[in-house]
Amino acid sequence: MDTYALCNPCIPGLLFSYLNNKNNMDSLKNNPGYSKNDSSKVVLPDEEWKKILLPVVYYIARQKGTERPWSSKFEDSKAIGTYYCAACGNALFKSDTKFESACGWPSFYEPISKAAIIYTPDNTHGMHRTEVQCGRCKSHLGHVFEDGPQPTGLRYCVNGVVLDFEKAKEAEKKFNKNNS
């Protein structure tokens, strides 16, 4: 079976193996476009994305899939830090903009910057929605809705599989080490 020809029934098994693999974030960073410091656009052919991303990440990020609700390790997370695109390392959201929406996916009310997110119309499945993509590599993240909390009134409903997270204290240590 072609591991990239995924269907929704395949996702639970792939997601289980993804969530139980402690080296996932390390393997995601072993690609030519992954950087938490570089803001240049990442443009790779589909064949390259297939090689460097885990199958479940590829399915969601590049084929616009959706993970099962309440399956993300970030859904209930209260950790303080920054959420990044798992495909390219682009900073997407600060944890203080994350909120409990009861929708089954990590939700945020505001991206880290205007350039962090690209908005595209999504009229699939008979719905009129706005897709959100990574502003650096155009990976599918999820959708944005106008039913979020103030101050923006927006709810960025994001697939946790395409998120990477760095705790604030770890980021501060790295920053201090690099600037001393």
Q: Which residues are catalytic?
A: 157
Answer yes or no: are the C-beta atoms of 95 and 82 closer than 8 Å.
yes
In the chain, DSSP finds a helix count (H) and a strand count (E) of 5, 9
**Residues 167, 57, 159: CA angle, nearest 5 degrees:** 65
How far apart CA 112 and CA 74 sit, in angstroms, is 17
DSSP at 162: G
How far apart CA 18 and CA 95 sit, in angstroms, is 22
If you search the block for the tokens 């980021």, which residue do you land on? Answer: 171
Which is nearest to 119 in space by CA: 106, 111, 130, 127? 130
